[in-house]
């Protein structure tokens, strides 16, 4: 299982939110590159980089942060936040993203995302499935939809999507554990899908459980920044 630290960006700084609420913003480091380099030095290979300003503005805002991390580290970066147009997805790749995560656009304009899957390859696009009680949320979690998770996944799997990042909003940033039952349910229904757990991942024991149930990866954010788990412990599991 891949251990994937998260860096969330607001105003060019490394921050974390609770349940996606921008009013709960806590700045952990003024320099996201410094954080990314500490991950790389600890032996981590992958990074989940989210432009929270971009998610809110519905266009990429912090592309310079992406570019800097991509040019000054060898981390494999999946980038999300503000991917809404052909121009934006190309800008993300040109700035150094190895993959992009499509969330809101996958709900609002699926035909465009289907075109991207064909044009760029399914392995270059991760489906972002952010959920609240198994309903998809969009626009940096500022907006709910009436779209159910499982039909949403089924539609994209039929188009070739191989990997999803599934975040339970109620768990995110709360350090209260992740939605293991939900991930197990997804993998039982879609056994070939690569499921990346996200939201609330807090302890080494929990990460081992996610590994045991078959998760492809686990995204870890606040637990690292608050010292609940160490990079050395995470590297041993990766």
Q: Residues 205-208: contacts with CB within 8 Å, 24+ apart?
A: 206/177, 206/178, 206/180, 207/1, 207/3, 207/234, 207/237, 208/237
* 8 A C-beta contact, residue 214 and residue 187: yes
* 8 A C-beta contact, residue 92 and residue 124: no
Please pick, among 8, 51, 168, 172, the residue that the annotation labels catalytic. Answer: 8
Based on the residue annotation, tell me whether 146 is a catalytic residue of this protein. no
Based on the residue annotation, tell me whether 130 is a catalytic residue of this protein. yes
Please pick, among 51, 78, 130, 172, the residue that the annotation labels catalytic. Answer: 130
Which helix (H) or strand (E) segment holds residue 204: the answer is helix 204-213
Query: How many other CB atoms are there within 10 angstroms of residue 69's CB atom?
Result: 26
Active-site annotation, residues? 8, 130
């Amino acid at each position: 299982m891949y251990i994937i630290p998260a860096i969330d960006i607001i105003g060019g700084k490394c921050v974390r939110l609770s349940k996606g609420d921008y009013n709960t913003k806590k700045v952990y480091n003024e320099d996201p590159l410094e954080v990314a380099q500490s991950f790389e030095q600890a032996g981590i290979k992958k990074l989940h980089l989210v432009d929270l300003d971009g998610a809110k503005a519905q266009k990429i805002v912090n592309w310079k942060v992406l570019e800097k991390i991509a040019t000054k580290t060898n981390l494999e970066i999946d980038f999300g936040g503000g991917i809404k147009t052909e121009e934006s997805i190309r800008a993300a790749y040109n700035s150094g993203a190895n993959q992009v995560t499509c969330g809101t656009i996958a709900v609002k304009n699926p035909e465009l995302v289907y075109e991207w899957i064909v044009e760029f390859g399914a392995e270059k696009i991760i489906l972002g499935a952010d959920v609240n009680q198994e309903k998809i949320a969009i626009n940096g979690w500022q907006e709910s939809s009436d779209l159910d998770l499982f039909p949403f996944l089924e539609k994209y799997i039929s188009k070739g999507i191989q990997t999803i990042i599934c975040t339970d909003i109620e768990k995110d940033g709360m350090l209260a554990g992740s939605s293991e039952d939900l991930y197990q349910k997804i993998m039982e229904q879609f056994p070939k899908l690569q499921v990346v757990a996200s939201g609330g991942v807090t302890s080494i024991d929990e990460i081992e459980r996610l590994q045991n149930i078959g998760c492809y990866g686990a995204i870890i954010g606040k637990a690292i920044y608050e010292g609940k788990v160490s990079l050395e412990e995470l590297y041993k599991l990766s």
